[in-house]
A = this chain, B = another copy of it.
Amino acid sequence: MGFKGGCVVNSIIYSIKNHRSIRNYLEKDIPEEVLQEILEAANAMPTSINGQQISIVVIKDKSKKEKIAEWTGGQPWISQAPVFLVFVADFYKAYIACEKNGSHQIIHESIEGSLVGAVDAGLAMGAAIISAESLGLGIVPIGAVRRNPQEMIDLLGLPQYTYPLVGLVIGYPADASAQKPRFPLETLVHVEEYQKDKIAPAIDEYDTIMSKYYSERGDKDTNWSKQVANAYKQVYFPDVYPTMKKQGFLNDK
């Protein structure tokens, strides 16, 4: 396959680059075979040491979605859309594997384990997002499943050594959303080594772009760095630390 070649190549990259978050959905179910394709795509992604340290909980039950919409701080698109996926860091499977072989699992006590579960959840969610959007569906990721994590853990019946990391709304878009401007590519990408000096100017540039973006949407006094500074001057979801401990993720080695 060539770079500027046929329909395949350009369509995949075009679809990925065209990503945007959708927060308004039609009341229309996703056919089971379509959802199956999305989940199989997620399952095809690599996991660290093939450790399979993730699970996906598929939620369609309306009353469950309504609870989650509330726990995440009032996000009605969660109950509106037909499907909500929860991506779970899952060392329960490896724990069973250890038990089966007479080993005592340690990895879930380490920060290394938590990082691996989270990266792998991102990989699987990436494939789910790209697949869903390629099928004409809309999505919005929901980090706020970590806002009331104990409620999520109880609702999903998550066993020890598992943790709900992030949610994904999937459904048919009710309207066309604008794409939020991305960070300048040169801020994401560094050549051969990290270029510290370019960060501050790139943030200034992105602040100008995002100030205009928010202003056009009626919010005249914000930009990227203001929002981030406001969010990250604290632990954004403070219940994550104690609930992770309770699930067995100690993160102390």
Contact = CB atoms under 8 A, between A and B. Distances in A.
Interface in A95-110: 96-98, 100-110
Nearest to A228: B97
Contacts of A81: none
Interface string A107-120: 11111111110111
A100 B203 contact: yes
A133 to B, nearest CB: 9
Contacts of A211: none
Interface residues of A, number: 132
Contact of A182 (B43, B55, B189): B43
Contact of A236 (B13, B107, B165): B107
Contacts of A19: 44-46
Contact of A7 (B8, B182, B228, B252): B8
A108 to B, nearest CB: 8
Nearest to A115: B118
Contacts of A110: 235-236, 238, 240-241
Contacts of A203: 93, 96-97, 100
Given A106-B233, A135-B9, A58 B189 contact: yes
Contacts of A100: 200, 203, 225, 229
B134 A126 contact: no
Contacts of A174: none
A161 to B, nearest CB: 10
Given A112-B237, A119-B165, 11 more contacts: A16-B41, A39-B188, A50-B180, A97-B228, A98-B233, A100-B229, A112-B146, A116-B143, A123-B129, A162-B194, A235-B253
17 contacts: A3-B37, A16-B130, A48-B166, A49-B143, A93-B203, A94-B228, A96-B200, A97-B228, A97-B232, A98-B225, A98-B228, A101-B226, A106-B232, A107-B232, A112-B237, A125-B126, A126-B127
Question: Top 5 closest A-B pairs, CB basis?
Answer: A122-B122, A126-B126, A118-B118, A97-B225, A101-B229
